[in-house]
Amino acid sequence: MKKIFYLTFIPLFLYASEYPYFTQNEFIKIEKRSGKIPKNRAMDYQKNITIFETYNETKQLNAVNHYLNQLLPQYDDIIQKQEDYWATPKEFLIAGYGDCEDYVIIKYFTLLKLGFDKKKLFLTTVFEQYQGGYHMVLSYFKDKNKPPLILDNLSFRVLDLKTREDIKADIFINSTGVFKIDKNYNLKKIAHQSKQYNELMKKIRKNH
């Protein structure tokens, strides 16, 4: 993935926690357009999220991370014929594979759907300490002044940022703005919104 660029924008409307939700008509359209496997994958997602609703918070985090990590990784320029494309959760489920940003986005919306506080969830760009290059993970700030928990498509374990010595956090993004983190795990806003986040929300608004 490329380094995130951020701009100052008025935040876009964030859909209620029901998103993503597929109607029966959507399932029919998915099967006609993409086949039975994508339709079944979307149906399986919807069924499993209903099951996850009965879990406690810790179990939900682990279940969401593990379940969605089973989708296959693939680079953006192969899937969408362009680099650094942020797919919506529905696009990712229909395709069945995606880049690190796509895993983060669908986990972000899935946890919102399960009732997690949107102010505690952040799309997070990190630098890989050992392999080099930028990567994206999902951060959940469960407790104030403590390292966030990290959901990562490269790990089936949900560990906190301090434990993840292989990554260094760079930028944190959600519907409230763009942030940097200090040594005490406090967030400082550096912009009202990111360009990529705005574009993602526009796609969701258009195709909701």
pLDDT in tens, 20-46: 999 999 999 999 999 999 999 999 999
pTM: 0.87
pLDDT value of position 17 = 54
Higher per-residue pLDDT: 97 or 50: 50
Backbone angles phi, psi at 184, to 5 degrees: -95, 10
Question: What is the end-to-end Cα distance of the chain in Å, rounded?
Answer: 26
Amino acid at 144: K
Q: Is the pLDDT of residue 120 over 90?
A: yes
What is the C-alpha separation between 25 and 153, in angstroms, rounded?
Answer: 30
Per the CB < 8 A criterion, the answer to whether 123 and 102 are in contact is no
80-116: per-residue pLDDT in tens? 444 578 999 999 999 998 999 999 999 999 999 999 9
What structural domains and CATH numbers belong to the chain?
A: 16-207 (3.10.620.30)
**31, 39 contact by CB (below 8 A):** yes
β-strand pairing of 72-73 with 97-98: parallel
Residue 130 reports pLDDT greater than 80: yes
Report helix angle 100-113 to 57-68, nearest 10.
150
- DSSP class per residue in 151-201: EETTEEEEEETTT-TTEEEEEEEETTEEEEE-TTS-EEEEESEEHHHHHHH
The partner residues of 138 in beta bridges, in order of sequence, read 123, 151
